[in-house]
Amino acid sequence: MSELYQQHWVGLVRLAVLMVDDRQAAEDVVQEAFAELYRRWPLRGPDAALGYLRTAVVNRSRSVLRRRKVARLYIPPHQAPNASAESAAVLSEERSQVQQALQGLPRRTREVLVLRYYLDLAFAEIAQILGISESSARATSSRGLAILTERLEELR
């Protein structure tokens, strides 16, 4: 378990930060995912564990976004959490546009695009992680890219 933690902690935090745009929240998400895995340990093998962790990270990221959505109702917009300090510092104009367009996508669409274009997962794997059919994953990705293209054109 410790080996798994050493090996995948950074990668999973990177995945989570792409979902929630906030490093601290991403680290919390990954910590909770490992705690959840610990309660179910041992699984069949390292591959099964990684799949389990990715699913847990996506699901917990979703919870963070839900909570944040509720919080936004009470927080003035300029104070609402939307991007980490690090990302604001290093992102170029071009990348900021992609970030903005990505943030406007439906949650599920964003998840599919991150899993597809960051982790380079096959649609079958994405489907397994998100609990949807392979064709849904494929269709969501295609539709998401189309919307993203439109949004990026608008932002240019």
Partner 1 sequence: MTDTETRLRDYLQAQAATIPSDAEGPGLDEPRHRRHWPVLAAAAAIVVVVVLAASLLTRSGDDTEPARPPGPPGPGTAPQVPYTVDTDDALHDGKQVVRIPKGADGYFFGRVAGGGWLGSLMPGVGKFQVGILTPKGTFRIIGPPRSGGQVLSPDRKQVALFHYLSNTRGQVLVFDITTGKQVAQLPAAPGQPDMLGWNQDGLWMGRGKAGLVVWQPATGQQRTVSVPGFDGAAAIPPAAGTVVLSAKVDGKRCLKAGALRDDGFKLQQQYCDQGPEQLYPVLSPDGRTMIHSQRSEAIDVTTGRVTKLKLPNKMWDTLPLPTFENGSYLLTLTDGGAGEGGKALQQLFRCDVTSGDCKLLVKDANGLQLHTP
Residue type, position 127, single letter: A
Contact present, 130 and 121 (Cβ < 8 Å): no
| Structure token digits, residue 100 | 């903005």
Instruction: Out of 20, 25, 56, 126, name the contact with partner 1 by CB under 8 A.
Output: 56
Radius of gyration of the chain (CA): 16
Window 90-149: residues binding partner 1 (CB under 8 A)? 90-91, 94-95, 98-99, 102-109, 113-114, 117-118, 128, 130-136, 138-140, 143, 145-149
- CA 47 vs. chain centroid, Å, equals 19
Instruction: Out of 20, 30, 64, 121, name the contact with partner 1 by CB under 8 A.
Output: 30
- CA 51 vs. chain centroid, Å, equals 14
Instruction: Out of 24, 46, 48, 75, name the contact with partner 1 by CB under 8 A.
Output: 48
Window 60-89: residues binding partner 1 (CB under 8 A)? 60, 62, 84, 86-87
